[in-house]
């Protein structure tokens, strides 16, 4: 999650193109994404940061090491991967794109997370958490033996903290025909905040179907949610600006948890959701594993569901 500054993309509204909400007849069986495996990926990100000057920031060796490691895991699982390089003011950075080479390539369901940290620290909650969760979901899908109806693609974005640079680069360099195939983009940025909330993005002008499916999933798990307008603070911005349906979740950053929020989610009122947001203390100790567990199962639910969604009628 980037610091909330002006973002031109945040104000883009797309007219028309309202998707029918939640038009999935029956949700696919939801997987239990392993919190143990996800935590192990986070241990790896911490170890990469520790071995590379304490961060995984764009243009620094800890970022490239993170990207190489994620790509190798996906390659080994059978994904078709690309390391996409692009320029930033801090030097060359990279997106890791992974596609499961099965399913209808004309209907692409995508999930992503930013893989870079700020330079102040290792970025384990922001956004090792989202990256580890998306990675583990991708690995679980590959191992599941499912036959996908649609094409599944994952993006691990570089240089988000420098202004959503990687995701914008990816979207801007997609040919129009490829953009048209993107049916959904799901974003996961900070999903294990130590004083967690359960926020669902409510900033998608192309329809609220995926937002509503996320809320329904959390409700079924007895987790209450609140809507949040994230807009230009994370990587779905470039997708939503093109009119592609987006959704995502967030466990909170520098904002203070209210007493009403503490009453429904536990934790400490009057304290930030993540007191280590963009600080050196965003380490492997800066995680709430219960939040992580709920969140990764929500990612799994959405991937399993939307990979089977019938887009041929629309
Ligand atoms: Zn951030």
Give the pLDDT band of residue 313 (cuts 50, 70, 90): confident
Whether residue 26 lies inside any domain: the answer is no
Is residue 9 predicted with pLDDT exceeding 70? no
pLDDT at 63 over 70: yes
Distance (Å) from CA 106 to ligand 1 centroid = 33
The gap from C-alpha 74 to its chain's centroid, in whole angstroms, comes to: 16
In a domain, 112, yes or no: yes
Band (314; pLDDT cuts 50, 70, 90): low
CA 87 to chain centre: 22
User: Which neighbouring-strand residues pair with 93?
Assistant: 86
Judged against a pLDDT cut of 60, whether residue 90 lies above it is answered with yes
pLDDT confidence of residue 180: 96
**Digit-coded pLDDT (tens) for 263-289:** 999 999 999 999 999 999 999 999 999
Q: What is the pLDDT of residues 198-227, one digit of tens each?
A: 999 999 999 999 999 999 999 999 999 999
Cis peptide before 216 (omega within 30 of 0): no
If you measure from the C-alpha of residue 309 to the centroid of ligand 1, how many angstroms do you get, rounded to a whole number? Answer: 32
Residue 20 lies in a domain: no
Q: What's the 139 CA to ligand 1 centre distance in angstroms?
A: 25
Residues 50-62: pLDDT tens digits?
999 999 999 999 9
Mean pLDDT across 233-237: 96
pLDDT at 167: 98
By annotation, the residues acting in catalysis are 160
Centre of ligand 1 from the C-alpha of residue 158, in Å: 12
Note whether 97 and 154 are within 8 A (CB). yes
In sequence order, the 6+-apart residues with CB closer than 8 A to the CB of 36 are none
Separation CA 52–CA 215 (nearest Å): 38
Question: What CATH number is attached to the domain comprising 234?
Answer: 3.40.630.10
Structural domain including 79 reads 33-307
Q: Indicate whether 302 pLDDT > 60.
A: yes
Answer yes or no: is 162 within a domain. Answer: yes
For residues 283 and 129, is the Cβ–Cβ distance under 8 A? Answer: no
Q: Within a domain: residue 231?
A: yes
Does any domain span residue 28?
no
Distance 127 CA to ligand 1 centre (A): 7
Segment 17-26 shows an average pLDDT of 39
Is residue 22 in some structural domain? no
In a domain, 17, yes or no: no
Distinct helix (H) and strand (E) counts, the chain: 9, 8
Q: What is the DSSP letter of 234?
A: S
Say if residue 301's pLDDT is above 80: yes
Based on C-alpha coordinates, what's the Rg of the chain?
Answer: 18
**Mean pLDDT lowest for which of 5-9, 72-76, 263-267?**
5-9
Percentage of the chain surpassing pLDDT 70? 92
The predicted structure's pLDDT at residue 274: 98
Structure tokens belonging to residue 272: 């930030």
d(CA 230, CA 237): 9
Of 6-10, 26-30, 114-118, 205-209, the one with minimum mean pLDDT is 6-10
Asked if residue 179 lies in contact with residue 244, where contact means CB atoms within 8 angstroms, the answer is yes
Query: How far, in Å, is the centroid of ligand 1 from the Cα of 194?
Result: 15
- Say yes or no to pLDDT of 26 above 70: no
Average pLDDT over all residues of the chain: 92
Instruction: List own/partner pairs for 169-172 with CB under 8 A and 24 or more apart.
Output: 169/84, 169/86, 169/95, 170/84, 170/95, 170/97, 170/238, 171/238, 171/239, 171/241, 171/242, 172/238
Strands 246-250 and 199-201, sheet pairing: antiparallel
**What is the per-residue pLDDT for 2?**
86
Instruction: Please check whether residue 127 is in contact with residue 230, taking contact to mean a CB–CB distance below 8 angstroms.
Output: no
Residue written as tokens 């934790």?
Answer: 267
- pLDDT band at residue 237 using 50, 70 and 90 as cut-offs: very high
CA of 4 to the centre of ligand 1 (A): 10
Distance from Cα 130 to the centre of ligand 1, integer Å: 11
Q: What is the pLDDT of residue 25?
A: 37
pLDDT band at 28 (very low <50, low <70, confident <90, very high): low
How many distinct structural domains can be found in the chain?
A: 1
Task: Indicate if the pLDDT at residue 27 is higher than 70.
Answer: no
Q: Cα(26) to centroid of ligand 1, in Å?
A: 35
Inform me whether the pLDDT recorded for 141 exceeds 70: yes
165-195 per-position pLDDT tens digit: 999 999 999 999 999 999 999 999 999 999 9
Q: Cα of 204 to ligand 1 centre, how many Å? A: 21
User: What is the whole-number distance in angstroms between the Cα of residue 278 and the centre of ligand 1?
Assistant: 6
């Amino acid at each position: 999650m980037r610091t909330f500054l002006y973002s031109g993309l945040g104000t883009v509204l797309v007219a028309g193109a309202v998707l029918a909400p939640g038009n999935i007849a029956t949700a696919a069986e939801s997987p239990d994404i392993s919190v143990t495996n996800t935590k192990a990926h986070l241990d790896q990100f911490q170890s990469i940061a520790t071995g590379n000057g304490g961060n995984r920031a764009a243009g620094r060796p800890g970022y490239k090491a993170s990207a190489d490691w994620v790509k190798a895991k996906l390659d080994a699982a059978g994904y078709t991967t690309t390391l996409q390089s692009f320029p930033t003011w801090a030097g060359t950075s990279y997106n890791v794109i992974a596609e499961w080479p099965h399913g209808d390539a004309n209907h692409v369901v995508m999930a992503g997370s930013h893989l870079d940290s700020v330079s102040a620290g290792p970025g384990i909650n922001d956004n090792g958490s989202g990256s580890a969760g998306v990675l583990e979901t991708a690995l679980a899908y590959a191992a599941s033996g499912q036959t996908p109806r649609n094409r599944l693609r994952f993006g691990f974005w570089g240089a988000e903290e420098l202004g959503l640079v990687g995701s914008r680069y990816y979207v801007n360099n997609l040919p129009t025909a490829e953009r048209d195939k993107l049916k959904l983009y799901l974003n996961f940025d900070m999903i294990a905040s130590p004083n967690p909330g359960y926020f669902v993005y409510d900033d998608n002008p192309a329809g609220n179907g995926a937002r509503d499916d996320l809320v329904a999933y959390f409700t079924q798990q007895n987790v209450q949610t609140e809507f949040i307008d994230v807009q230009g603070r994370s990587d779905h911005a470039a997708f939503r600006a093109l009119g592609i349906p987006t959704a995502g979740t967030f466990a909170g950053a520098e904002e203070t948890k209210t007493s009403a929020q503490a009453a429904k989610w536990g934790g400490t009122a009057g304290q930030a959701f993540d007191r280590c947001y963009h600080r050196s203390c965003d380490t492997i100790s800066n995680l709430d594993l219960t939040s992580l567990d709920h969140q990764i199962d929500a990612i799994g639910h959405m991937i399993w569901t939307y990979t089977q969604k019938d887009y041929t009628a629309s």
